[in-house]
Amino acid sequence: MWIYPTDVIPYYHCGMDLWAGSPGYGYDAVNDEPHISVVYEDWTRTGSFLYTSEVVEEGYIIMEYNERLVINSNHLGAYGYSSKTIHSMNDNGQGLIGIIGIFAGNDPDNESCTPPASNITCNKTAMFKITDNWGQSWYGDHSAFDFYYIPDEVFDNILSAIHSI
C-alpha cells in the first residue's frame, strides 16, 4: 500500500518532494495507543524520511512535527540501483525498513566496486534496519551503515544448494 504525503503530513509543502509513501501501523495495547508511521522517498533531498503519529484523538491522526532520515542516499551505490523503501510495524513497536540495493562505492555502470562497498558486498542485496521502539531509533550492522544485509556467503550457499536439487 502506498499513500500520498498530503494525506498524512499537515505541514507538507512544495519544498518536500515526497514519493512512494510506505505506511506502517501498530497498536500498543498496554497504553491503548495506535502508532501510525510512513516512510517517504524524498527525491530533492535524496533519502528516505520517516513521519510518525504523535497521538490519535477521536479518530484524527496528529503527526509529529519532525522527520527522521532513516535511509541516507550517501550510503547507497550508484543512483537508480536501489529500490524504494518499504516499511512495516507490529503491535509491539518492532518494525523494519528495507530496500533491495547496493552499497556506496558500487557503480555497476562503470563496472567498479570500491570501498566501502568492496568491504561489505559488491552485489545487489536485501538491506534492512530494525526498530523496537516504534521507529524512534533504527539499527543494524554498524559496519554496513547500520544496515543488516544478506552476505555473499549466504547467497553462494543458497545458489549451490539450488543446483544440487
Over its length of 165 residues, how does the chain's per-residue pLDDT go in tens digits? Answer: 567 787 778 788 878 888 888 989 999 999 889 998 999 988 888 889 898 888 888 888 888 877 888 999 999 999 889 999 999 999 999 999 999 999 999 999 999 999 999 999 999 999 999 999 999 899 999 999 999 999 999 988 988 888 766
Q: Give pLDDT, residue 137.
A: 92
11 phi and psi, to 5 degrees? -100, 15
Q: What angle do CA 17, 18, 21 make, to 5 degrees?
A: 170
Burial of 84 (0-12, 13-18, 19+ CB in 10 A): middle
Predicted local confidence at residue 165, as pLDDT? 65
**Which residues partner with 113 through β-bridges?**
106
Backbone angles phi, psi at 20, to 5 degrees: 50, 60
Grid cell of 55 as nine digits: 497521538
The structural domains of the chain, with segments of one domain joined by +, span 5-163
Give the integer Cα–Cα distance in Å for 135 and 117: 26
Q: Residue 85 carries which DSSP code?
A: -
The pLDDT assigned to 1 comes to 57
Total-model pTM: 0.84
> Taking all residues of the chain, what is their mean pLDDT, rounded to a whole number?
89
Residue 34 and residue 53 in contact, taking contact as beta carbons nearer than 8 Å: yes
Residues 6+ apart with CB under 8 A from 151: 121, 125
Classify the phi-psi angles of 42: left when phi > 0, otherwise alpha if psi is within -120 to 50, otherwise beta.
beta
pLDDT, residue 85, reads: 92
Spatial contact of 72 and 55, defined as CB atoms under 8 Å apart: no
Instruction: Copy the grid coordinates of residue 64.
Output: 509529529
Cβ-in-10-Å burial (0-12, 13-18, 19+) of 89 comes to buried
